[in-house]
Structure 1
């Protein structure tokens, strides 16, 4: 039985994940004084990175499935920020864990996550898949 979705290139999605991570860091570092970037762009880029990361892991799943998993993960992390037991707040004080888990629930973050995941899914559908299909067609000729 043929795959319904051709396998993703793990090198490409690994690079996209790393590039998005670096872009998020640089956006905060270089343009963090701008409220819009500080409040929204970082969250959208984080969700985009999560999308590319799950696309890397689930390389044979459809774009819709990967987007649903990524959005579910992002929303779960945001909802977990409503929980403030001392042990988890102590974990959040560690820089890397704090970046992953976040610190406080913010409704606008859910919109940013939705936009980041949607951008990743659209990029895959509009750019990555057509490019891959054109290269495959060129090899067959």
Structure 2
């Protein structure tokens, strides 16, 4: 139902958005841009870890949870999708803070 471009990258963008929102929830006092930086670094490190293949980590990736968290193979395009997800997270966070007059 979705266009191919959106369908291809939506999952990765949503994953990065989830990471951003999780960090924002845990680190409530941290500034939005700091959360964004940590979110991008986390996503990029997970993606870079997909270049590493050892029996123990590949076995972990074969589990449902391990595959969802660690992914399977490195793709440059995923880095862009993560950035889009984080930007959406920044927008949501700033909107909520403005709407509820929350300062950080």
Fold match, TM over 0.5?
yes
User: In structure 2, what is the equivalent of residue 82 of structure 1?
Assistant: 51
1:129 aligns with 2:97: yes
Matched, 1:56 2:25: yes
| Partners of 2:60 and 2:4 in 1: CA distance | 27
Gaps of 5+ in 1: 1-30, 135-141
1:101 to 60, 70, 73: 70
Report the secondary structure of 2:101's partner residue. Answer: helix
Q: What does residue 69 of structure 1 align with?
A: 38
Greater Rg by CA? 1
Larger relative contact order (Cα-Cα within 8 Å, sequence gap ≥ 6): 2
Aligned to 1:14: none
Taking the aligned partners of 1:37 and 1:114, their CA distance within structure 2 comes to 14
Query: Which consecutive residues of structure 2, in runs of 5 or more, have no partner in the other structure?
Result: none
| Equivalenced residues, count | 102
Aligned counterpart in structure 2 of residue 40 of structure 1, from 9, 13, 21: 9
1:18-29 to structure 2, matched below 5 A, reads none
SS, match of residue 18 in structure 2: helix
Partners of 2:7 and 2:23 lie apart in 1 by: 25
**Partner residue of 1:110 out of 79, 89, 92:** 79
1:108 deviates by 0.4
1:38 and 1:85 mapped to 2: Cα distance?
30
Q: Which runs of 4+ in 1 moved over 6 A?
A: none
Superposition CA RMSD, Å: 1.6
